Amino acid sequence: MKGGPSGGQAAAEHGHFDAGLLGRTCVLELGNGRWITLPTRRWVADPGGGDELLLVRCAGSTLDIGCGPGRLTAALARRGALCVGIDVSPTAIELTRQRGGTAVQCDVFARVPGEGRWRFALLADGNIGIGGDPVALLGRVFQLLAPGGRALVELDPPGRRVRADRVRINGGAWFRWAWLGVDALDEVARAASARVVWTGAHGDRHFAELMRART
């Protein structure tokens, strides 16, 4: 979930979430009192095997939504691809630029550069949870994509469906987040007027590619 909260929640969370962008310990507390240690070391490392499943599918202009410290944005740039990362955190934008990527500070639900012209959109590292509603987020993503564009999404493992909760990071302000499991993918895709065109897995990481359903 390296993209962090969206909208008006973003400013309040920058200080807490930025610790994760720098690779420090970052704890996500759920509304029921449970907590999860976020995989911050992966966010700041070079892309791994699971990331490669996403990167090889980005065969055109790509918008990396919730780019965090920019490992995927920068990796695509090194391959000569047009890729722009967006994130609400100024720290994320600076870190992405330091890695050689292009990044713009903005909220996916606000004005986004190149709206309606992107061929691919990345929602890696759980960023399908941004805003707490995967259907609404996918609807917005398809507004950003050109006709025939594809959304590449990282999912929770099999055995999990879709859920939303209020969460906070390192004791900060509460915000809404969601999780989309493999078992709910088809259901959520249909609700977002999309269809699944590819799924893949690497270890315990699971991915899917979606495009607008034919009407």
| Residue 181, pLDDT above cutoff 90 | yes
Let me know: does 153 contact 159? Beta carbons within 8 Å: no
Question: Confidence class of residue 9 from pLDDT cuts 50, 70 and 90?
Answer: very low
Q: How many domains does the chain have?
A: 1
pLDDT tens per residue across span 198-213: 999 999 999 999 999 9
Percent of the chain with pLDDT over 70: 92
For residue 188, give its domain range.
7-212
| Residue 203: inside a domain | yes
Distance (Å) of CA 34 to CA 28, 29, 119, 128, 129 = 9, 6, 38, 21, 18
How far is residue 129's CA from residue 9's CA, in Å, rounded to a whole number? 14
| Residue 29: inside a domain | yes
| Residue 13, pLDDT above cutoff 60 | no
Nearest to 62 by CA among 120, 147, 140, 1: 120
pLDDT tens per residue across span 108-134: 999 999 999 999 999 999 999 999 999
Q: Centre a 10 Å sphere on the Cβ of residue 78 and count the other Cβ atoms it contains.
A: 12
| Residue 81: inside a domain | yes
Let me know: does 86 contact 110? Beta carbons within 8 Å: no
Question: Confidence class of residue 19 from pLDDT cuts 50, 70 and 90?
Answer: confident
Structure tokens of 178? 């969601």
In this prediction, residue 16 carries a pLDDT of 66
- pTM as predicted: 0.93
In this prediction, residue 10 carries a pLDDT of 45
Return the CATH number at 20: 3.40.50.150
Question: Confidence class of residue 2 from pLDDT cuts 50, 70 and 90?
Answer: low
How far is residue 168's CA from residue 112's CA, in Å, rounded to a whole number? 26
How far is residue 74's CA from residue 83's CA, in Å, rounded to a whole number? 8
DSSP assignment of the chain: -TT---GGGHHHHHHHHHHHHTT---EEEETTS-EEE--HHHHHSPP-HHHHHHHTT--S-EEEET-TT-HHHHHHHHTT--EEEEES-HHHHHHHHHTT-EEEE--TTS--TTTT-EEEEEE-TTGGGGGG-HHHHHHHHHHHEEEEEEEEEEEBPTT--EEEEEEEETT---EEEEEEBGGGHHHHHHHTTEEEEEEEEETTEEEEEEEEPP-
| Residue 2: inside a domain | no
pLDDT tens per residue across span 40-92: 999 999 999 899 999 999 999 999 999 999 999 999 999 999 999 999 999 99
| Residue 1: inside a domain | no
Using DSSP bridges, classify how beta strands 35-37 and 27-30 pair: parallel, antiparallel or unpaired. Answer: antiparallel
